[in-house]
Structures are given as structure tokens and as C-alpha cells.
Structure 1
Amino acid sequence: MTKPIVDPTLQSPAFQSLDIRSRDIFRRIVDSYLRDGEPVGSRSLSRILPSSLSPATIRNVMSDLEHLGLIYAPHVSAGRLPTQAGLRFFVDALLEFGDLTDEERRSIETQVKAGGNGMSLEHMLTEASQMLSGVSRGAGLVLTAKNEAALKHIEFIQLEPGRALAVLVSQGGDVENRVIDLPAGTTLSQLHEASNFLNAHIRGRTLAEARGEIARLKEETRAALDTLSQDLVEKGLAVWAGTESGLPARLIVRGRANLLENVTAQADIELLKHLFEDLETKDGLIQLLDLAEEGSGVRIFIGSENKLFSLSGSSLVVAPYRDKDARIVGALGVIGPTRLNYARIVPMVDYTAQLISRMLR
């Protein structure tokens, strides 16, 4: 698998100077947290460590780890939990990422291709999001950017007074249907007029190029079309962009209910509320593509490292997928609490991104 990108900021001499015993104790604390989410104390560690270390010796090591900022006590007389920096160090320096078995690869392929050969891109990405949610017990997340494929055809079909179906076709054969609201008084002839005008000027152009061309022909547009038809032209271009507000990406999220499992503390509920609000508003989601584009492999963001979901303190494992020209056209991954099973999730996200890329070729 593609090796996850390591954050170099935490590869300091202080961290690297940890001896084998300190690393073993630290690993056990993190393993316990990832498994149970609970603090672990020196007595518990003395029972599970292979070497016969006394609780007093373990406490001294824990004190050194706490001084380094790798662990902390959530309250007085409690055991210890890893800090965000500690989790970052664990993921970068200590965690071993295995490869998937042939059976796991086949399972992923079967789930992603569940809709059959004729399924749409959106259906395929939805299946991928659902699959990632199932294997991670977090939320599967797929961001699909509106690609820069050349446009072939657009047509408006009236459904009822005030509403129409916009059918958009790329030269690659992708079809997208969107229901739009029509300006009051729009006639069938105006729908045809707007379709004809767009088809005369967008064919073979990307969305960005088509918008530029329509802007350049603004005076000609005014002369050739009446006000209602001109409004339809603008709606036609906007609908290809994804929404009438022109957001450059579409987000598919599956498995939000997984995030609610075993949540009892009010503080955790508030964090989840922030996360759900971030997912609902979609503001800045294109940052996910920017984050994924910064490296060729899987990216792991823990807590506030990911500014997009920093208020919720969530972890994000994300990887880009590419089109037939090797351009990054989207990103997929898993978002959830910081105690994600990184060793299992990272190779699954990596392979799924590679699979989607192959299917887009």
C-alpha cells in the first residue's frame, strides 16, 4: 500500500530518544485507549506488560512520557490517556500498517461494485462511502469534485408549471439530472431556446470555459435571448456546478449513526454536534481535496490538525482518487473519534481510493 504521509514536526530528538521500555509502555497506553477509550493506570499496565516491572517503575516512565506531552491524566488519581501529540507520534513512528488480504480486497471490490457494471459514478461513490463506514465504525466520507470534463449536451424538460428537469451530458457519457425552479411565466419555446443557445456554445468546452464563453458573449446573449431564457442559461450552467449556489463539490456521508455509539458524556455529544454541523454546512469542503493533493498517499489528521473539523476534535483519514488523466477529481476517507483503528482503516482507505481510480479510467 501507499505509505501514509508522516508529519515531520514530531520526529524530534526528544521523541526519538525514548528507550524500548518507554515505547512499550506508551504503546500499551495507546492500544488501551484505541480499544476501550478508557485511561489506564500503572497497576493495570504491570499486569499486562511482559517484563516484570513494578507499578512504581511504570509510574516513573509515565511521568517522563507526560513531561514529553505524549500522555496526560484526565483527572486526579486517574490513569493516563494519549494526547493529540501522542497519537500523532504513535501513528507516525510506532504504528505498523499492514497490507490487505486478497479476501479483504475482494470484499471491498464486491461492495463498491454492488450496483453492477451500468451503475452511475454517484452510485459507485455512495457504495464506497457505505463500505468505509461499515469497516471503520465511523462515518464514510466521499467528496466528488465537479470534474472538468468537456460538455456535450444540455436539455430542459418541463415537469410542471414552475419546474423543469435539467439533463446534462458530458462527452465522456456521464449524465446528470437536476430539478430546477423556473422563472414565472416560462414557456416551452423558451426552454428549447435556452437549450439550443447553450448547446451552440458549450459543446466541447469544460464548465469553466463555458462560463467564460457565456460571459464573453454577454451582449450577444442579451440580444439573442429574452430575459426568461437568459435566466435559464445561467441556471443550466449553475446546475452542472452541483448546486445553484455554485459549490464546487458534492459530499456523500454514510454511517453518521456509528459516531453516536457508546457516546454518553455531554462533552462528547457537543463535539459530535459540531461535527454534524460542519458536515451539513459543507463550507470549505473543497479543502479536503487541497489536503489530499498535498501528497500522493493517505493523509491522517488527528484532532485540531484538520482545520475543517477542528471544533469536533475528530480524526480524518483521507486519500485522493484520480481520473484517467491522473488528475485528482475527488477524495474519500473516514471521519470519526480520535480512537479510530488506524492500522485497519488506513490500508482500506488507500485501496478503495486506488480501486475508484481504476474504475474511472
Structure 2
Amino acid sequence: MTDKDAIQSLDARSREIFRYIVEGYLDNGAPVGSRTISRHLTTALSPASVRNTMSDLEELGLLYAPHTSAGRLPTELGLRLFVDGLLELGDLSDGERSSIEARCNTQGRNYTDMLSEASNMLSDLSGYAGLVTVPKSDQPLKHLEFVSLAPGKALVVMVTVGGVVENRLIAVPPGMPPSSLVEASNYLSDRLRGRTLAEARQAILEELEARKAQLDELAAQVVEAGLADWAGGDDAGRLIIRGQGKLLEDVQAIEDLDRVRRLFNDLETKSELLNMLDLAHQGDGVRIFIGSESNLFSLSGSSMIVAPFTDGNQKIVGSIGVIGPTRLNYARIIPMVDYTARVIGRLIG
């Protein structure tokens, strides 16, 4: 039975009471009692009759009572059924669409900065944390250069044949002379030109291992560090999270603070988060992860709304979304995430 079938199997009274409880929870996070519900139903119903229906919904696993004398809250199963079967999506205003397009605009910014700003924008509009995966470029390279910034730090500047410019900070051996950075730049540019990092990486590392390259020791270390950072297996480097501090603004009780702390710890485990984002690559449209549906959020009681974006060849290359408590404003955030992903895809294309 699908979630929509499960919702349809409820009678009209149960659906109305269930909807009222879930929408109340999404609005303010508080349990909803039978007396409050009876005053707002479209048909007259006593608090006792409402309690009976609430008990039936609780037996179905859709509601639970946080305290003995309290009202009811939706379970994660109840939230999932509501999102899939009863949620009425809102629509973005013209102002919101214009704001999203303006802040995602790539003029004067590189690819990574554009995605970082898009994540910031989603955080600002939603009031929660925004996140985005930065896909590794598979375009052939035109130029690569190491630029000294400060003792022990250098900037790697990479330009693809398509004109995409990306840069990243790496650590370099202390006291490295400028000549070694020039030597490393020339070495990599010669071997990478016209090839992708993935195509050239293994051959370059093997050449360095065999010491066939005529590089001094410091330049070889810079080359290895640059390759490891750009094309290595550290997937966590592809993830940008913005607005985590906004999660604290929603804290209303000690248990909420504990939940946010657990979420912060979860977000530090970026490999599991990337696995979730990779699931969004398996099909078009928005994906919604609620609470323990994901191992990542099993303790923190959090939800993630995420959508994939594509490149000019309609190939899915990354994902963008919002993380927050399970009482996210799904009706507003789902279309927001979906539209942002489509804007990014259009700009990349």
C-alpha cells in the first residue's frame, strides 16, 4: 500500500483530525489536544469523540503522545504519510524567484562560489541550513597554476577548456621558494593539458613514485598535494554547508538543543551525508528524508529536502537542499529547493 493509499483508507473525520495535528506541529512544534481540535473541525464533534479518533491514529503508528496528559504529535511515519499524501505545495512568489535567480547568477564568480552562494541563499530563505555538493569537474584542463599566498599556503587555480575557473587552498611545505611552485605548475600543466584530472592522476602519481619526473623534492610534494585535493578520494571536500547557526534560532527547549547538537555532530560525518545526496542523483525531482529514514538523522530527528541539478548535457552532477528539524515548512521549502536546482542547472548549461 502506498502512502496515498494509506491516507485514502482513513475516513474523512480521521483525515481531518490527522491533518490538523500535523499542520499544528509544523507551525509551532507543540502537541495538539482534543479540545482544541473539536473547536476547529468543520463538523461538530465532542472532545471525547476526537480523543477516540486520535487513539485510533495512534494505534496505526501515525501519532504519539509526548506526555501522559498532553495532546498528540505526528510520528515520523505520520509525517511521511502527510508529506506524500496530504501536503499541498505552495508556489514561489515572483519576488522569491527573482531573488533566487539573482543570487545564483554566475557573473564575476567561479563555479564553486556560485554554488556556495546558492546554499547561503537557501539558508536565508528557509531559515535553516543549506547544503550543496560541488561536482568534480570532468572537463579537460587548459591551465593549472600554484600561487603562493602565505607561509605554508598556496592557491591552486585550474581553468578548463570550457572556461570554468576553480580555485582551492592547499598546504605546502614551510619555506618553499617561489621557484618550486613555478616548477610544480609547469609540470602539471604540461601533463594535464587536454586531459581531465581523473584521466591524468594515476599516470602522474606513478611517474612521481618512480621518480621519473625531474622535479625537486618540494615541487613533487606540491604536485601530490594538489592532485590529492582536486582528484583524490576525499568526497567530503565536495560538500558545502551554510547557515548551521540558524538551526539554533529554532530551539525552544533543552531537548531541542540536544537535537541540534546531535545534528551538528551528524553533519561532521560528511561521508554519510554525501551518500544521502548521491541517492538524489538516482532520479529527477525533489527527495525528502525524514528522521530515521536515514541513518544520519536517526538520533537528531532532522529532515533534509534535496534536489539534483544537471549540466548542459542533462547529466546529474550535484545536489542542493535544506536541512532542519522534522517540522520543516515542507510546503514552502520543497518548491524553493526544486526551483533553485533548476536555476543552477540552467546556469551551468
1:93 matched to 2:85: yes
Match among 59, 67, 77 for residue 69 of structure 2: 77
Query: Which residue among 102, 109, 120 is the counterpart of 1:119?
Result: 109
| 1:88-167 to 2 correspondences below 5 Å | 88-113=80-105, 117-159=107-149, 162-167=152-157
| Structure 2 contact 208–220 (Cα < 8 Å) conserved | no
Choose from 167, 177, 180 the match for 2:170: 180
Q: Assess, with a 3 A threshold, how the Cα gap between structure 1 residues 294 and 220 changes in structure 2: closer, same or farther.
A: same
Summarize deviations over 1:257-304 as a string: whole Å, max 9, x none. 321124242222121112112323423342143121122110011111
Deviation at 1:209, TM superposition (A): 1.0
CA 60–249 in structure 1, closer or farther in 2 if over 3 Å, else same: same
1:333 aligns with 2:325: no
Alpha-carbon distance, 1:245 to partner = 7.6
Q: Distance in 2 between matches of 1:106 and 1:179?
A: 33
How far, CA to CA, are the matches of 1:119 and 1:190 in structure 2? 29
User: Residues 1-361 of structure 1 correspond to what in structure 2 (within 5 A)?
Assistant: 10=3, 15-113=7-105, 117-159=107-149, 162-183=152-173, 186-218=176-208, 221-241=211-231, 246-247=234-235, 249-361=237-349
Provide closer, same or farther for how the CA distance between residues 155 and 130 of structure 1 changes in structure 2, counting only shifts above 3 A. closer
Distance 2:223 2:212 in 1: 11
Give the 3 Å change call, closer, same or farther, for CA 162–117 of structure 1 in structure 2: closer
Amino acid aligned to 2:340: T
Aligned residues: 349
Counterpart residue identity of residue 155, structure 1: E
Secondary structure at 1:149's aligned position in 2? coil
AA paired with 1:83? T
Match of 1:5 in 2: none
Farther off after superposition, 123-132 or 313-322:
123-132
Note closer, same or farther for the CA distance 1:141–1:219 as it changes in structure 2 (3 Å cut): closer
Secondary structure of the corresponding residue to residue 296 of structure 2? helix
TM-score (norm 1): 0.88
Unaligned runs of 5+ in 1: 1-7
Q: For 1:58 and 1:160, how far apart are their aligned partners in 2?
A: 68
Q: Could you say if the C-alpha distance between residues 225 and 66 of structure 1 is closer, same or farther in structure 2, counting changes exceeding 3 Å?
A: same
Question: In the alignment, which residue of structure 2 is the partner of 1:4?
Answer: none
2:170 and 2:213 map into 1 onto residues whose CA distance is 24
Contact 1:249-1:285 at 8 Å conserved across structures: no
For 1:130 and 1:233, locate their aligned partners in 2 and report how far apart those are by CA, in whole Å: 32
Q: Equivalents in 2 of 1:184, 1:260: separation in Å?
A: 39
Contact 1:221 1:230 in 2 (8 A): no
- Is the 2:236–2:270 contact (alpha carbons within 8 Å) kept by the matching residues of 1? no
Which one is further off, 351-360 or 325-334? 325-334
User: For 1:124-180, what per-residue CA distance to the aligned partner results, in whole angstroms no more than 9, with x for missing partners?
Assistant: 223222221222221122221223222222122334554433222222222233343
Q: Distance in 2 between matches of 1:143 and 1:178?
A: 15
Q: Secondary structure at the match of 2:304?
A: strand
Judging changes above 3 Å, is the alpha-carbon distance between structure 1 residues 332 and 83 closer, same or farther for their aligned structure 2 residues? same
CA distance, structure 2, for counterparts of residue 138 and residue 223 of structure 1: 49
Question: TM-score scaled to structure 2, two decimals?
Answer: 0.91
User: Residues 295, 223 of structure 1: CA spacing in aligned structure 2 closer, same or farther, 3 A cutoff?
Assistant: closer
Letter in 2 for 1:312: S
> Which range moves more in the overlay, 100-109 or 16-25?
100-109
Q: 1:65 to 1:143 in 2, by over 3 A?
A: same
Letter in 1 for 2:299: L
Q: Distance in 2 between matches of 1:31 and 1:311?
A: 23
Deviations 1:215-260 (A, max 9, x none): 453566435334333222212212324xx88335433323223211
- Relative to structure 1, the CA distance from residue 172 to residue 278 in structure 2 (aligned partners, 3 Å threshold; closer, same or farther) is farther
